[in-house]
């Protein structure tokens, strides 16, 4: 168990099959551990071992969310007045504490959502990198001194915080994504109410306690647990009540549109990072082994449960058969299981039973679209498991890898995201057709092309409608210092990570300082400068 959690916590008397403890978790409101106002709780279960309960957590009520908002409003004035370098120092402390507790947090994340240990390690490192990057941004929260068109006047611009930010993130990246959101938010002087993912409350609880251990004042970040339809909805509803100045949401496009409508009618800023049907194109000049490796990881890494996972695999018809032979051989050799028990598995379980049910619906949609199912048999059970499954299939919620071929642009499965280990394969006639197919879905998050033709690479990166593009790389996301986000149905144009995210959590304040002692009006009191026409005998120069 993560030792940062142990102080002041109550452990629940429960027989877990792996011998690991179950805790009683709390909301953190104004720095205090609190239960839900009506005492109702929910459980967090290990998706690789459903009998393993990590803990019980408050099913937060509307009153709980409002208490958190009150605490954030009360803390805002003092935090906004704290010098930005001081705020950066606290964020730096968070990064160093994450490094200290990294191994424990990695094990906890794998236990709670089923990611492999290697992937959990990479995600915790992303949170660390985000803290260390933004620590120094506390000394670079620059404004500008601007020359005035009038004498004896100075003009300045400053970044100002927005106020109270509502933070809602999905459970597939339960450590990196909330840090992408909250670290720049508090760097800019905002305060936050964070609704943890329903399927990752214990990790969120551990991260929030680390933030406070780093020296974060009470009320700057307030954590509430619960369902999206409960605590999440209460937080969005608070926009209509004038209690929230910013919503940052990662999740489905459907929910994102609803949040955008609420924020839009209240003129409140929102950051929306939504779904994707990410294309990966393979051209004849590509190194096929490299392309197969990238497509395989893009489709099935994290059990296909990344917003940047490969959706439509677009293969040039000239190399289609050779590529598919190599690709299917790799798919059929996939090792699946609980990474905390078995080494060298590509992916583990679905994030939760809910995600497993939604994935099965997605599979039915692909079948009914008319696609040809080359591989995959739905849920892995003791009577239905692939050759390289490791462990007891009945313990958790694991899925076969699925491959659907003969997909065309008119099929529903071409356009809709299937959130899980499934890929739809499309055949392209030439480069222009491949680029058309890559742009034909309603999404535009990540994208990729495998080619050794530099003109094709150039035309792809300039012609694709996506927020991110990999050239001879998979449909991965960005690093901690690069902008992450999409276009079209994948988001509203805001970005996370890097210096660009600061725009999402601050506004520009223009100040003019009149030193002349009199009223001077720009545009009206500016002396006109007369241009003198040069006396040139153009005839002699002709």
Active site residue 171: no
Sheet hosting strand 144-147, strand order edge to edge: 144-147, 153-161, 506-514
Contact (CB, 8 A) for 447 and 461: no
Among 296, 132, 248, 291, CA closest to 484: 248
CA distance 216 to 214: 6
Contact (CB, 8 A) for 169 and 181: yes
**Ordered DSSP codes for 216-239:** PPTTSEEEE---IIIIIHHHHHHH
Task: Indicate if the alpha-carbon torsion angle 391, 392, 398, 399 is positive or negative.
Answer: positive
Q: Find the catalytic residue in 53, 188, 192, 307.
A: 307
Contact (CB, 8 A) for 422 and 377: no
CA distance 13 to 525: 78
A 10 A CB-CB count for 264 gives: 12
CA distance to 261, 342, 391, 462, per residue, from 490 (Å): 16, 35, 36, 18
**Beta strand extents in 148-230 (DSSP E only):** 153-161, 164-168, 191-195, 221-224
Determine the Cα angle at 287 with ends 281 and 290, to 5°: 80
Determine the Cα angle at 386 with ends 384 and 387, to 5°: 125
CA distance 477 to 470: 9
- Which pair of structure tokens corresponds to residue 384? 């239905």
Q: Which H or E run contains 58? A: strand 49-58
At CB < 8 A and 24+ separation, what contacts does 428-431 make? 428/281, 428/314, 428/315, 428/316, 428/317, 429/316, 429/317, 430/316, 431/283, 431/316, 431/456, 431/459, 431/460
CA distance to 85, 181, 192, 302, per residue, from 178 (Å): 21, 5, 11, 18
Q: What share of the chain is helix, strand, coil (3-state, %, to 5)?
A: 40, 20, 40
Determine the Cα angle at 277 with ends 281 and 289, to 5°: 30
What torsion, rounded to 10 degrees, do the Cα atoms 259, 262, 267, 272 define? 10
CA distance 211 to 138: 17
Active site residues: 307
């Amino acid at each position: 168990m993560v030792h940062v959690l142990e102080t002041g916590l109550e452990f629940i008397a429960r027989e877990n099959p792996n011998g690991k403890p179950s805790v009683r978790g709390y909301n953190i409101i104004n720095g205090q551990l609190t239960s839900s106002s009506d005492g109702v709780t929910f459980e967090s279960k290990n998706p690789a071992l459903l009998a393993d309960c990590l803990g019980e957590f408050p099913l937060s009520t509307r009153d709980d969310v409002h208490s958190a908002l009150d605490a954030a409003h009360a803390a805002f004035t003092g935090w906004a007045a704290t010098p930005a370098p001081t705020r950066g120092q606290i964020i730096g402390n968070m990064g160093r504490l994450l490094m200290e507790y990294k191994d424990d947090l990695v094990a906890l994340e794998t236990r709670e959502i089923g990611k492999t240990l290697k992937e959990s390690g990479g995600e915790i490192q992303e949170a660390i990198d985000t803290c260390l990057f933004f620590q120094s941004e506390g000394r670079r929260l620059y404004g500008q001194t601007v020359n005035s068109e009038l004498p004896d006047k100075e003009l300045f611009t400053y970044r100002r915080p927005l106020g109270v930010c509502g933070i809602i993130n999905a459970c597939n990246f339960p450590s990196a994504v909330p840090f992408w959101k909250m670290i720049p938010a508090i760097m800019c002087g905002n305060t936050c109410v964070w609704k943890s993912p329903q399927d990752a409350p214990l990790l969120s609880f551990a991260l929030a306690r680390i933030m406070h251990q780093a020296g974060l004042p009470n009320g700057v970040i307030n954590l509430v647990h619960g369902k999206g339809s409960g605590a999440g909805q209460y937080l969005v509803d608070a926009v209509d009540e004038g209690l929230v100045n910013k919503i940052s949401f990662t999740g489905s496009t459907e929910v994102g549109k609803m949040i955008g409508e609420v924020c839009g009618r209240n003129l409140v800023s929102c950051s929306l990072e939504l779904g994707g049907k990410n294309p990966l194109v393979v051209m004849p000049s590509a190194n096929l082994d490299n392309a197969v490796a990238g497509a395989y990881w893009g489709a099935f890494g994290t059990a296909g449960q990344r917003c940047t996972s490969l959706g439509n695999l677009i293969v040039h018809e000239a190399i289609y058969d050779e590529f598919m032979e190599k690709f299917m051989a790799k798919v059929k050799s996939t090792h699946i299981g609980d990474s905390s028990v078995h080494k060298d598995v590509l992916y583990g379980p679905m994030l939760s039973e809910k995600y497993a049910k939604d994935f099965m619906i997605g599979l039915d949609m692909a079948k009914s679209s008319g696609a040809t199912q080359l591989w995959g048999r739905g849920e892995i059970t003791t009577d239905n498991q692939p050759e390289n499954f490791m462990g007891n299939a009945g313990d958790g919620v694991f899925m076969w890898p699925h491959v659907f071929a003969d997909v065309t642009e008119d099929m529903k499965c071409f356009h809709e995201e299937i959130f899980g280990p499934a890929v739809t394969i499309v055949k392209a006639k030439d480069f222009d057709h491949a680029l058309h197919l890559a742009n034909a879905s309603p999404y535009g998050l990540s994208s990729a092309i495998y080619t050794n033709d530099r003109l094709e690479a150039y035309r792809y990166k300039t012609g694709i409608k996506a927020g991110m593009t990999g050239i001879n790389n998979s449909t991965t996301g960005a690093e901690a210092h690069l902008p992450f986000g999409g276009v079209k149905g994948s988001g509203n144009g805001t970005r996370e990570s890097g210096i660009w995210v600061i725009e999402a959590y601050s506004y520009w304040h223009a100040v003019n300082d009149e030193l002349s002692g009199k009223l001077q009006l720009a545009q009206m009191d500016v002396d006109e400068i007369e241009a003198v026409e040069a006396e040139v005998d153009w005839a002699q120069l002709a």
